[in-house]
């Protein structure tokens, strides 16, 4: 398909379909719990989990160099403070709105944790979540904020902490600000450093492209394993939760479109240009893996390089609308009645929205981000985190939509920021022939 120049998104969707069919064949031929399926999917994991590990490998270098290169773009240096505040403000604001959407959807579908039966997988997941909670339990909000700071940036480059991504962003921002200071006083050294950063950026982006070429194979293996080992009965019994989650995600995506409309931009144009990256995010379930396409898409929409890099990188760890907004809010409303808390209480609802927005800092962009966000929110609300494991059987299915909404929120923040600062190229935005160049190279 690649040799025939079939588009990247079509190749990924084809792999998705083949993976689902293969998974169903294994499921119906041998059963989800059979030794044959277990052994077979273990071999699939070489490709599926191998692909995810490659994405994880490149995340930290990509985030660091993307933020740093944003500082070396001259247009950004004049109003960098305003741009940063706008991007972070939009990300947090839309996450608060996403929490409200999640709350409203939970009430509309009458979702409650007591409606779900706990099987062996759910109990095992609950135990894991309670163990993870041990690392953050008892920390006050100020202490959690301090945890975001990079005491040892080299440790954070390894991704050792749940907040490593935001720590790397902060470290890169400090180096970037130091660059701006050197640029004013020692322009020759700054020019050398700028060229060095651009060279590293080009190499890292090329490495990302090599990894993205593996996406169809990774998606095929991941979906085949997921479908083959899924408890179809449990998924059917949780159908209401799947539908409710996707209704909330679709509403949030429509809100992104509405925000673009209010700023005077055509949402249909955005949808057409963003479709390839949203497709990738949906199938790969990785906001971090979608970062290169995210940045390229923003550029095709007239967003300057610097703002595109900032919005894309910040969006990996701040204000993820799907994983850190909708999901924890829905869980909080579902679990509250089990602790004799009235979920309709105005004080409880306000607490959920505020805590969700604040807790959205530092959510990782590759796998587990939603879980970490849920742990933070449920712990802050004194709700049992173990009950979050009730949805383990439908997690992969919901996570696909959550990731796409995360990426859309990130791009929306970059587009709106560039429009408010009057740096957007409106002609480039409206030029529908100006699609992302990524497909030609992947």
Position with higher pLDDT, 184 vs 126? 184
* 89 neighbors 217 (Cβ within 8 angstroms): no
Q: Helix (H) and strand (E) counts for the chain?
A: 20, 0
Q: Which residues contact 161 (CB under 8 A, 6 or more apart)?
A: 147, 155, 167
**pLDDT at 32 (0 to 100):** 77
Mention every residue, 6+ apart, whose C-beta is less than 8 A from residue 381: 332, 336, 348, 351, 352, 355
Position 116 scores a pLDDT of 58
The mean-pLDDT minimum among 147-156, 278-287, 368-377 falls in 368-377
Q: Of the segments 49-53, 89-93, 355-359, which one has the largest average pLDDT value?
A: 89-93
| Residue 362: predicted pLDDT | 60
Provide the pLDDT for residue 271.
92
pLDDT at 315 over 50: yes
User: Which is higher by pLDDT, 76 or 314?
Assistant: 314
Structural domains in the chain (count): 1
411 domain-assigned: yes
Highest mean pLDDT among 108-117, 212-221, 261-270, 304-313: 261-270
Is residue 2, in this structure, part of any structural domain at all? no
413 in a structural domain: yes
pLDDT tens column, 334-353: 888 888 888 888 999 999 99
Q: Name the residue range of residue 29's domain.
A: 8-441
| Residue 168 pLDDT | 87
CA dihedral sign of residues 153, 158, 164, 168: positive
CATH number for the domain harbouring residue 260 = 1.10.3860.10
pLDDT over 70 at 398, yes or no: yes
Residue 1 lies in a domain: no
Question: Does residue 349 belong to any structural domain of this protein?
Answer: yes
SS3 assignment, position 286: strand
State mean pLDDT over 409-436: 86
3 within some domain: no
Quote the pLDDT of residue 438: 43
Distance (Å, whole) CA 204 – CA 224: 30
Q: Identify the pLDDT of residue 431.
A: 82
The pLDDT of residue 66 is above 60 = yes
Highest mean pLDDT among 125-134, 313-322, 345-354: 345-354
Token representation of residue 151: 């005491």
Domain annotation covers residue 260? yes
CB 147 within 8 A of CB 139: yes
Most confident of 31-35, 60-64, 83-87, 413-417: 413-417
């Amino acid at each position: 398909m690649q040799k025939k120049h079939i588009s990247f998104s079509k190749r990924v969707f084809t792999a998705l379909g083949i993976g689902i069919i293969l998974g169903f064949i294994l499921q119906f031929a041998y059963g989800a719990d059979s030794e044959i399926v277990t052994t077979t999917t273990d071999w699939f994991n070489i490709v599926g989990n191998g692909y995810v590990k490659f994405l994880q490998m490149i995340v930290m270098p990509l985030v660091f160099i993307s933020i740093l290169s944003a500082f070396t773009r001259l247009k950004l240096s004049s109003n960098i403070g305003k741009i940063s505040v706008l991007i972070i403000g939009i990300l947090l604001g839309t996450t608060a709105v996403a929490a409200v959407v999640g709350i409203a959807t939970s009430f509309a579908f009458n979702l409650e944790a007591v409606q779900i039966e706990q099987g062996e997988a759910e109990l095992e997941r609950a135990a894991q979540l309670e163990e993870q909670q041990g690392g953050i339990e008892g920390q006050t909000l100020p202490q959690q904020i301090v945890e975001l700071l990079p005491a040892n940036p080299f440790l954070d480059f390894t991704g050792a902490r749940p907040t490593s991504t935001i720590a790397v962003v902060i470290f890169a921002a400090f180096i970037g600000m130091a660059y701006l200071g050197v640029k004013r006083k020692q322009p020759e050294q700054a020019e050398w450093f700028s060229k060095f950063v651009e060279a590293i950026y080009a190499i890292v982006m090329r490495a990302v492209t090599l990894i993205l070429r593996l996406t169809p194979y990774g998606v095929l293996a991941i979906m085949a394993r997921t479908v083959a080992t899924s408890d179809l009965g449990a998924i059917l019994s949780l159908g209401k939760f799947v539908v409710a989650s996707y209704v909330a995600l679709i509403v949030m995506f429509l809100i992104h479109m509405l925000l673009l409309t209010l700023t005077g931009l055509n949402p249909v144009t955005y949808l057409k240009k963003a479709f390839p990256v949203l497709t990738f995010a949906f199938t790969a379930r990785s906001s971090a893996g979608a970062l290169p396409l995210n940045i390229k898409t923003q550029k095709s929409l007239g967003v300057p390089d610097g703002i595109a890099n900032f919005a894309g990188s910040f969006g990996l760890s701040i204000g993820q609308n799907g994983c850190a907004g909708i999901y924890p809010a829905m869980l909080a409303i579902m679990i509250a009645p089990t602790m004799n808390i009235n979920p309709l209480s105005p004080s409880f609802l306000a607490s959920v929205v505020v805590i969700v927005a604040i807790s959205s800092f530092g959510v990782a962009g590759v796998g587990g981000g939603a879980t970490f966000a849920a742990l933070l929110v449920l712990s802050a609300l004194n709700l049992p985190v173990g009950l979050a494991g009730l949805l383990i059987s439908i997690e992969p299915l919901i996570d696909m939509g959550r990731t796409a909404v995360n990426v859309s929120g990130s791009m929306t923040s970059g587009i709106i920021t560039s429009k408010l600062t009057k740096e957007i190229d409106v002609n480039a935005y409206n030029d529908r022939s100006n699609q992302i160049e990524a497909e030609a190279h992947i």
